[in-house]
Structure 1
Amino acid sequence: MPPQPAARRGPGPMVPPPQQQFSNAQMQQHQAQTLAMQERELAKRRARKPTDKDISPAIEALIPAAASYRELRELEKRYDAAIMRKRLDIQDAINRNVKNTRTLRIFVSNTAKDQPWQQSSKPLPENAFDFDTGLTPTVRVKIEGRLVDDEEADMIEANPDHDLNMDGEESIKKKTEAGQAGKKKFSHFFKSIIVELDRGTEHPDGNVIEWRKPSPNTQPATAALGLEGPKEFDGFEFERKSDENINCTIKLIRDESPDRFKLSAPLAYLLDTQEDTRAGIVMKLWEYVRSNGLQDREDRRKIHCDNAMRHVFHAETLWFPQIPEKTLSNILPLDPITIPYTIRTDVPSHFSSTVTDVTVYIDDPIRAQMQSILNSPRYHNDLREIQKLDDHIATLILALNHSKAKHDFWEAFAKEPAGFIGRWVSSQKRDLDTLCGEGASEGVEEEEKRKAMWRDRMTESVYMLLARQGPGR
């Protein structure tokens, strides 16, 4: 029996082809190839992009107004050079991070409440069995500070006719107008404020009151818990229960950027300063080395220490790149600002007994203005607009040069048609030979000489071969 044909299956579900799995290395290679292709495409676009914006002298001879364009181009070049020089000056001034010194005036005051001598003036109830009024004596201490210039400026705003200092009133007003936006509060200048009460008396609420500036890492967590206080403030207050005078010590830990350090005695004597930043210390050491001629004549990085430097670094010679590391043993954290104060409970009204002036360092307000100029979005938009105009000018100049080439072609053709066509065909032939690699380095005459020499040598060789084979052949 003949074999039965296999039964045909009906239509089944469509099975998609298996997807090819790529490893991480293959995906990275594919991404690298894609980026390389994009870079090549951008490079081709930049290569095709016209960049010449100068009009040739031949066009200026035909168009007298083109000389004005050339003068404008020269003026633009000088203007661009001046702007770039100013931007570099601004960038250098920002990188130097110059600080201005200001005076911070710190006031410490306290008030007393519900003290025994204050309670004695209040009448007691008629049926009272004791002399206790049920009130708890407390004291409230306030620590606040203000920049001196800001304080004088506020006095001028409150009373413009007030005679602060007639000689410097104009300068104070100018400073106030310039620094109104960048006014710093008291807490801005300190990392922490610690108040240590007298150890002789134990207070139920503790003998140490401390405030610390929140770090950027902990601010989101405290804000989520609803424990975040004011970011900056002008006054710090605390309250304690007491009916006696209390001696306390207020310690203020300075917050500076970049950090300043206290110099050791030998280094302070060498640089003639008690505190400075690490960059300032290195710069002053460099100035000291140069002014005293301590560099080695052959290797300028090598420094021969004099007597003062030997007391600091304990070495005869020193390599300048080692100075930042060598100075670490000669710098210490700054001592806190210490203010002794006595909390009075025998004063009926607000009482300020301590005023302390502290020198603080703040950023130059002009630096912030310079930074805003460099980061201004308007400046970048103007640059993009100028780039578009430059591209448009380059396109117009390219079209103008093409028009001039067409003009020269047709003018030469009109003067001498036959000779021009011959020269043009010869030029095109040379260009074609150059593109094809034929005669790229020699001219037509040199090529003809080589052909003739080859023909003569081949003819002579053929004759010699025939002579050797004999007359029969």
Structure 2
Amino acid sequence: LERNLCMSRMPHQGAPMGPPGTPYGGSPAVRPGLTNQAMEASRKRPAPSQQQIQQQQAVQNRNRKKPVGFPGPNEMPGRQMDMREAQSDPTIGSNRCPGCSTVSLHSNILGFFLPFLSISPFSPFCSAKRRKMADKILPQRIRELVPESQAYMDLLAFERKLDQTIMRKRVDIQEALKRPMKQKRKLRLYISNTFNPAKPDGEDSEGSIASWELRVEGKLLDDPGKMKRKFSSFFKSLVIELDKDLYGPDNHLVEWHRTPTTQETDGFQVKRPGDVNVRCTLLLMLDYQPPQFKLDPRLARLLGIHTQTRSSIIQALWQYVKTNKLQDSHDKEYINCDKYFQQIFDCPRLKFSEIPQRLTNLLLPPDPIVINHIISVDPNDQKKTACYDIDVEVEDPLKAQMSSFLLSTANQQEIASLDNKIHETIESINQLKIQRDFMLSFSRDPKGYIQDWLKSQSRDLKLMTDVVGNPEEERRAEFYHQPWSQEAVSRYFYCKIQQRRQELEQALALRNT
């Protein structure tokens, strides 16, 4: 065993030998007087390929790396020891017991080989590539060695299933957010008025005129939201029409219309002089989002829809076409109008893509909400407040939660940190498995394992030094007595003669000029 180890570390003696071309470890031998030029291209050794270069770099990186949990080459007991040191070591002397000598010898041999026990160049330690789910999986061999690891694999399978479920839910939420999410609620409208009678004579003349004040307010019923929505945000416009006979044609209308710069308010207030009951009409136009339209009476009777969004109306039309089989059997793009469609669209046949354009003349603004109210100035009248419930559409509170769920990154950092810990633990386990296999193989058959290891190191050395051929065969004289050697020598000298002839011709040509 020691002899094999020493021979593996001894350099070759004598001149380097090899087949024609660049010999192994030396420069080509040439005849005296001939320039040292490369031989014919057919006999050249090929340049190393990209794959060979990568293999060389991988071997060099592997030999430079230090295994986890093992001492380095300059540390005890894993430093590289010459066998002469091992022989001179008193702990390996013949005076020790055979068992102690064997243990010490094994320790020294391990000290020689441990620096070469390296991490595979394709392991996570050697690449900065993005870690994947597969990197968390324990190898089957480790699971067989440690039965308790099955619990970890069960958790990993559950995590994968949970991730898939969350991913599907995120996609569903993204699709749901693209559609309007509305919820019907009740808006309670409060219409109240107060009367300020005229003051007696002798007091301030400015306050002697009787007047009344009308207030329009409202709130959502059972609103669970913390942020209360302003009353004016539900409406696009509000018109209060007073009695024209009392206030004339120029002062009987009070109007409010939404503008881009409108500031929301909790109510509206109107104050006018008067001491008699006043009839008024309130016209409230809801602010629909998305916009809604009132259908033409003929189309409304056909579809059973009074007011709806444009997309819902087109969808209802398509449902009517499918139910009544109006789509052309030969050209699916066209619709054969029945008698109702002919009355509405005024044509026997049309493309379905033309319907949105034709609907423009059939869609009208929605009807306003009309409320008739009497402003009472009777001081004995106790019922001066009227309540009305209006159906309105508000944003679904679930939409805000869905948006916050998609935008939330609070747990991402914690999840990433835990993933990194899992990857590091798995890498440590895999490295410990490599070390365990090394120790087990060495303990079962030290001699055979070291011989296999030397063969592996020899192959790595061949890749690192770009050796072509088999150096072991090239060391023997029989290698050069094969038929190819005569042809190689002839070609070699022929190339040298041709090269020398070209040089002489060039020299003579320069002399003649």
> Structures share a fold, TM > 0.5?
yes
C-alpha spacing 1:333/1:204, structure 2 compared with 1 (3 Å) = closer
In structure 2, the residue corresponding to 1:381 is in which secondary structure?
A: coil
Structure 2 contact 192–384 (Cα < 8 Å) conserved: yes
Q: Which blocks of at least 5 consecutive residues in structure 2 are unaligned?
A: 1-125, 469-478, 495-513
Q: Distance in 2 between matches of 1:270 and 1:336?
A: 23
Q: Distance in 2 between matches of 1:435 and 1:303?
A: 74
2:423 equivalent to 1:394: yes
Give per-residue Cα distances to partners, 1:303-357, cap 9 Å, x unaligned: 535425553485734355x655554443232222222334444564454486544
Partner of 1:304: 335
Equivalent residues in 2 for 1:439-450, closer than 5 Å: none
C-alpha spacing 1:232/1:335, structure 2 compared with 1 (3 Å) = same
C-alpha spacing 1:133/1:364, structure 2 compared with 1 (3 Å) = closer
Rg (Cα) greater in structure: 2
Number of positions where the alignment pairs a residue of Structure 1 with one of Structure 2: 355
Q: Distance in 2 between matches of 1:63 and 1:282?
A: 64
Question: Which of 204, 207, 210 is matched with 1:137 structurally?
Answer: 210
Partner of 1:36: none
Structure 1 contact 190–255 (Cα < 8 Å) conserved: yes
Q: How many percent of aligned residue pairs carry the same amino acid?
A: 33
Question: Which of 165, 178, 199 is matched with 2:244 structurally?
Answer: 199
Q: Distance in 1 between matches of 2:302 and 2:489?
A: 94
**Alpha-carbon shift at residue 55 of structure 1 (Å):** 0.3
Question: Which of 267, 273, 276 is matched with 2:308 structurally?
Answer: 276
Partner of 1:47: 129
Structure 1 contact 110–350 (Cα < 8 Å) conserved: no
Q: Distance in 2 between matches of 1:93 and 1:48?
A: 32
Structure 1 contact 266–312 (Cα < 8 Å) conserved: no
Question: Which of 104, 113, 119 is matched with 2:187 structurally?
Answer: 104
Structure 2 contact 189–218 (Cα < 8 Å) conserved: yes
TM-score by length of 1: 0.60
Give per-residue Cα distances to partners, 1:387-409, cap 9 Å, x unaligned: 11112211221222122223323
Question: Which of 244, 247, 250 is matched with 2:282 structurally?
Answer: 250
Q: Distance in 1 between matches of 2:391 and 2:370?
A: 14
Give per-residue Cα distances to partners, 1:123-168, cap 9 Å, x unaligned: x68xx9xxx9972121222223344xx2xxxxxxxxxxxxxxxxxx
**Alpha-carbon shift at residue 56 of structure 1 (Å):** 0.3
Structure 2 contact 231–265 (Cα < 8 Å) conserved: yes
Q: Which amino acid aligns with 1:387?
A: A
2:253 equivalent to 1:208: yes
C-alpha spacing 1:390/1:198, structure 2 compared with 1 (3 Å) = same
Structure 1 contact 103–358 (Cα < 8 Å) conserved: yes
Equivalent residues in 2 for 1:407-422, closer than 5 Å: 407-422=436-451
Q: Which blocks of at least 5 consecutive residues in structure 1 are unaligned?
A: 1-43, 151-175, 220-230, 440-450, 467-473
C-alpha spacing 1:96/1:461, structure 2 compared with 1 (3 Å) = same
Equivalent residues in 2 for 1:252-401, closer than 5 Å: 252-291=284-323, 302=333, 304-307=335-338, 308-309=340-341, 311-312=344-345, 314=347, 316-319=349-352, 324-345=356-377, 348-349=380-381, 351-352=383-384, 355-376=387-408, 380-401=409-430
Q: Distance in 2 between matches of 1:415 and 1:337?
A: 94
Q: Which amino acid aligns with 1:241?
A: P
Structure 1 contact 107–145 (Cα < 8 Å) conserved: yes
2:233 equivalent to 1:188: yes
Partner of 2:147: 64
In structure 2, the residue corresponding to 1:179 is in which secondary structure?
A: coil
**Alpha-carbon shift at residue 372 of structure 1 (Å):** 4.2
* C-alpha RMSD of matched pairs (Å): 4.5
In structure 1, the residue corresponding to 2:411 is in which secondary structure?
A: helix
Give per-residue Cα distances to partners, 1:81-115, cap 9 Å, x unaligned: 33334444444444443322233343434333326
